[in-house]
Amino acid sequence: MKDSHHYKSMFHRFFIIPLSVIFLLPSSLVYGQDSIEFLNDSTEYLWPTDATKYLSSTFGETRSAHLHSGIDIRTWGQEGYKVYASRNGTVHRIGIGPHGYGNVIYLRHDDDTYTVYAHLNRFETDLQAYADSIRLQDYRFELDHFPNDDRFVFQQGDVIGYTGSTGVGPPHLHFEIRDSNFNPINPLLSNLADDVDDSLPPVFTQLGIEFLSEQNYSFTGYEIFPARGSNGHYDFGKITVNGPVGLSVNVHDKANRAPNSYAVHSLMMVQDGDTLFHSVKDQFSFYHSNDMFLDRSYPILARTRQGFQRLFRVSGNRLPIYQSLKNEGVIHWKQGEYTIQIVAEDIYGNQSVASLTLNIENSDDGGDIQYVATYPLPSQDLNFEPHNWVSSQIVAEESLIASAGPDISTSIFREKQFLYTTHTSSEKQLIPGEVDLLHTADQKLWIQFPSEALYDSLTVRMNVQQTSNQIDIEFSPVKLPINRSARFNYILPENFRHKETLGLYSVDPYRNRERFIRADISNGMVRASLNEITNLRLKEDSIAPWVGRPAITQNLGGMHIVRIPVKDEDSGIDFRKSKITVNGEKGIVEYDPEKNFLIFYHPRFLPLPANTVAYEVFDGVGNRRAGEVTVPYN
């Protein structure tokens, strides 16, 4: 089925689709050829590892905060397989760290495009020694470094590293192709697609109906319906709605002899031969990667953790994946029954079609729709009276600090057996494209939104409740994506200013789970960056980390290391602050958050029969556990 030059043959596959569904295709296909023109007959990529030729993830899948920007190659749960230079290139950048890409290599090629190899266990010997020499200058774990041009040159097929699980587990190789602007391109548009065996069609599991307001088509609620069928043919049955709706689907792809589920390459929605929506995941910009939350239904994602892909586009979504849109994909039709087909296709042309009958009651035709609100309105059931701030005037941070009095407890005060509660609230409409502030009436808490933070206009309520040992900041609406980080500032109440192990946490309102947020808490102030609008909590963490017994072992590169089990359930391990010495010598303190280990690493470390290991382990709010043990080594 596969040609040697997949990029060209890809277009021909659209013309071998069964005639029963060929009417669903648009008259023209736009793939952004200008930015992927380097994927031509003369550009050949080598499969980048000897591990397997099976994928665990594909391009454009839903991730916690972004679109997946490459392919993941299975390594059968093992580490240490060879990683090859996919093309001739020079090392443009290397990175080492416990999160994100982990240990990563960026190669630059002669045409100024790039390939990326991530989650490595280690680099090849010379490159690893070079990285270690930089880290040993100040014994830091993390590294983000750009070597001098042509210092490290690799030919196609040279070993550049070894597969691992750094940054995120389980073990696998993450591989990317990026264009000359550093934007990710679907690697399966290249000849690498010829190495993957896939003759299976996508699988529909669920349909989401997002109910929209008639005023600005903002989200008001949703309902989920299961799919019936298999082998490329699915049906969602007859569904009755009132007023405008947007559809979204939970759909995934499969490949031969692989258990994983993948993102589909193309989605299309058609009614009576008319294409209402068509998206194709070939490329995107990292600058717009956060728009994943708008392409996916973020309200359903927040509540179910399932990545329903929208068949309509909301305002603010700038992803370049939409080939065709009619009325932004929103269904606002006059009452009646309508048959709709949803077509999912993988990059090999394997296709599945799901049908539904939409029975629309009590509705008129919405006409030409050019705007669909990104954010819902605040809930009406919050039990507080908001203070309305209608002015968009920006107040300088210095004036906010100066105007704040010594006590925040001005709204409601109740004292009983040393337990008291204060309560303050505010509401404001925030405008995108402007620097804006959301703050409480007493001006002791304020959130600064940069001009590019919001995708759309947002009316938000904020409610602050304080007890003797905890402060909760709640928002409505909540769990909202933002495009750029907002800055959280809070002048602490007097009784919180001397709590030495105070921490800031985001709170998932749908699961009541907390996640520690690193913040600067000093001089009676809390400052932190917020990557979403979510409920927050300030509380103490007075429990020091748990530390297990150190052990001396060897890593996959044959280097001796000391591995110390650590765990902290509240504010996590602060690996940057933690210290380990062995026989009085410093080393690099590395951290594996997946396996819960701190690791003493020094390329010249040779263990003695008896070794003195001294450690100081800190959590995120400064709790410390220290110890010294003798560790034998045979």
Question: pLDDT tens for residues 221-279?
Answer: 999 999 999 999 999 999 999 999 999 999 999 999 999 999 999 999 999 999 999 99
Element of type H or E holding 8:
helix 6-13
As a whole number of angstroms, the distance between CA 398 and CA 400 comes to 5
Domain boundaries, the chain: 35-195, 203-361, 388-540, 546-632
Which one is the CATH code of 35-195: 3.40.1390.10, 3.40.50.620, 2.70.70.10, 1.10.490.10? 2.70.70.10
Which one is the CATH code of 203-361: 3.40.50, 1.10.405, 2.40.33, 2.60.40? 2.60.40
| pLDDT tens digit sequence for 554-603 | 999 999 999 999 999 999 999 999 999 999 999 999 999 999 999 999 99
Contact 569, 503 (CB under 8 A): no
Indicate whether 184 pLDDT > 90: yes
Looking at residue 64, what is its pLDDT? Answer: 75
Looking at residue 40, what is its pLDDT? Answer: 84
Range from 2-6, 125-129, 304-308, 413-417 carrying the lowest mean pLDDT? 413-417
**Is it true that 35-195 and 546-632 share their CATH fold?**
no
- Residue 408: name the closest of 437, 382, 441 by CA: 441
Indicate whether 187 pLDDT > 70: yes
What pTM does this model have? 0.89
As a whole number of angstroms, the distance between CA 509 and CA 215 comes to 27
Indicate whether 332 pLDDT > 90: yes
Full DSSP string of 419-436: EE-EEEEEEEEE-TTS-E
| pLDDT tens digit sequence for 281-329 | 999 998 888 899 999 999 999 999 999 999 999 999 999 999 999 999 9
Amino acid 522 reads S
Indicate whether 629 pLDDT > 90: yes
Q: Average pLDDT of 25-29?
A: 32
Report the CATH fold assignment for 388-540.
Chondroitinase Ac; Chain A, domain 3 (2.60.220)
Both tokens of residue 397?
């941070």
3-state SS, residue 303: helix
Helix ranges, 310-454 (H): 397-403
Both tokens of residue 164?
């691992």
As a whole number of angstroms, the distance between CA 92 and CA 154 comes to 11
Burial class from Cβ neighbours inside 10 Å (0-12, 13-18, 19+) for residue 581 reads middle
Residues in CB range of 416: below 8 A, 6 or more apart: none
DSSP conformation class of 145? E
Q: How confident is the model at residue 63 (pLDDT cuts 50, 70, 90)?
A: confident
Both tokens of residue 440?
């409480």
Looking at residue 384, what is its pLDDT? Answer: 38
Residues in CB range of 33: below 8 A, 6 or more apart: none
Looking at residue 65, what is its pLDDT? Answer: 74
Looking at residue 41, what is its pLDDT? Answer: 79
Report the CATH fold assignment for 546-632.
Immunoglobulin-like (2.60.40)
Q: In whole numbers, what is the pLDDT of the chain averaged over residues?
A: 89
